[in-house]
Chain A
Amino acid sequence: MRELKILVIVIFFTLVTYWGVEPYAHSQMHKHVESENFEYKDLPKVEKGDIAKGKELVMSNCTACHSIKAENMPAPMDPVTSSASYGVNPPDLSNVGAIMDEKYLAAFIADPAKASNVAHKFTPESGKVHPMPGYSWMPKEDIASIVAYLKSIAPKEVTPKEAFVTACGRCHAARYDGKMLGEKWTQIGQKPKFKFDKDSLAFDIKVMEYQDNLKKYMGKLPPDLSIIIRARSEHFLKTFIENPQTQLPGTAMPRVGLSEEGFEKVMQYLENIGDPSKPARDALGYKFLIYMAIFTLFAVLWKKSVWKKLH
């Protein structure tokens, strides 16, 4: 009995120490931000739009800058040239309807800087304007039609990587995304394994040119997200992506307007590259624990048989 009492005391003090230096200390280090579950309550509702009308409007207003690969509409410029003109490569619109919130899409089309919470970067004094012009002059029904069209062309199933590429991958690189050495996600696309150094370096130069333009636009180079899943908690990433200003006031990172499903896809991608062995651990884990349970059972039986003759 005395041994058990000692064990309980040791466990108690261990838990108090653990609680103090982990959950408690971290709760004091970081400001607590409540999640809004991607509801975007500050944005107005979107009415039902006309898909055909939306298609017409998209063709006459959006495709001068945006590609829509799902509709065989190529990008008018390559990423590096785009970044030289806009600061960042405009996204392909094929799957925005699947991963973005529709209220956000409508608000963004009307006033991009305001909807993405980066209006502080584009004040009249700064002399800068958001690279995408606002369409607040357009009737609300027309914007609703554009959103309806974008949703209609979006694929039912978006892969985690596609979600990441649309939402994050034009500013953030992921250097661990690749099966072979040298492969990685860069802001201008996936870097393949090149046979010759010359080709590899040529690709790198393009990435650097793009990054220089991006730095001018964002103020600094946005961080690589390869292991962000380990550096930040899920709650932090969720509230930060919902609204970056709550966690980092004044940041240049825009609110990207992911819907809950879109966010889950992005998180899945981040987990795949930041913790690639998780599926293997999950698959092996329970088998190993069953083995340990049997092992423990035998250990207990053995101890009992040895200690039968002792005090």
Chain B
Amino acid sequence: MLHVLLMPLIIIAVIVMHFGTLRIPHVNNQEGEEIDFDKEAEKYLSGDTKNSKVIRFQWDFLAKDFMVMAFFLTFFFYLVFYHYEFAMDPVNFDPADGLKTPPHIYPEWYFLWSYEILRPFSKDVGLMAFGFAQVIFLLLPFLDRSPNAKPAHKRGLFQVWFWIMLIDMIVLSIMGKVPPEGVFNTIGLVAALTFIGLWIILPFITMAEKKA
């Protein structure tokens, strides 16, 4: 009951809320450009669609979405038919044996980064770091003290922070899957410390941002 009905309902409700809140400051754009939406919408409706900076959801947006989806589905079904094993880890096809632990255990790929934040430390420190990694992304809106609501490439140091974070997450993901031996341990530890360090400095570098 909880998972087949209640959870989907909650997810649908969150999506509705998400679309609703999008209407309040209006949808953002790649350039972070300030647009007078009412004026642009009027321009569109009066027939000057070429110069208007806004488009309609139906069919302007949908037609493009449909096209991208078609490309994606073609690729997706190519994988389904000809690379069926693509997303299936071979480990999952070995029958479980309570007396034999596999030499390397690792979670699904999307959890690897947080697994690698757990792994390089001793037990208690590792658990604390792991707990930190699980909740910290939820606190992002509060740790970002910048007065600006703009894309990262218009925000100075935050852009550097963003790219280091992205690369760090990929390094963590890869290190989370390779066996914990030799140089991989060191890389994993450095990447995990970088992850924690980035979150500690985030409020300071965003506070230093000037109102643009």
The answer to whether A and B belong to the same complex is yes
User: Which residues in A have their C-beta under 8 angstroms from that of B37?
Assistant: none
Instruction: List A13-31 residues whose CB lies under 8 Å from chain B.
Output: 13, 16-17, 20-21, 24-25, 28-29
State the main secondary structure of chain B at its contact with A: helix
**Interface presence of A73 (CB below 8 A):** no
Residues of B within 8 A of A224 (CB): 95
- Tell me which residues from 129 to 163 in chain A have a Cβ below 8 Å from any Cβ of chain B: none
Interface size class, chain B: 35 or more
Having A230-B90, A232-B90, A292-B74, one finds 11 other A-B pairs with CB under 8 Å, namely A17-B109, A17-B173, A20-B173, A24-B178, A227-B93, A230-B85, A285-B81, A292-B73, A302-B66, A310-B49, A310-B50
- Do the beta carbons of B177 and A21 come within 8 Å of each other? yes
Q: What residues of chain B have their CB less than 8 Å away from a CB belonging to chain A? A: 30, 49-53, 55, 59-60, 63-64, 66-67, 69-71, 73-74, 77-78, 80-82, 84-85, 88, 90-91, 93-95, 103-104, 109, 112, 166, 170, 173-174, 176-179, 184
Chain A, interface SS category: helix
A309 CB-CB contact with B under 8 Å: yes
Which residue of A288, A300, A309 contacts B81 across the interface (Cβ within 8 Å)? A288
Contact A292 B77 (CB under 8 A): yes
B173 near A21 (CB under 8 angstroms)? Answer: yes
Q: Provide the residues of chain A in CB contact with B90, threshold 8 Å.
A: 230-233
Interface size on A, residues (CB 8 A): 42
B176 to chain A, nearest CB (A): 8
Does B60 lie within 8 Å of A310, measured CB to CB? yes
Q: Contact string, A268-311, partner B, CB cutoff 8 A, digits 1/0? A: 00000001001001101110110011011001101100110111
Complex Cα spacing A307 to B90, Å: 45
- Chain A contacts of B70 at CB under 8 A? 292, 295-296, 299-300
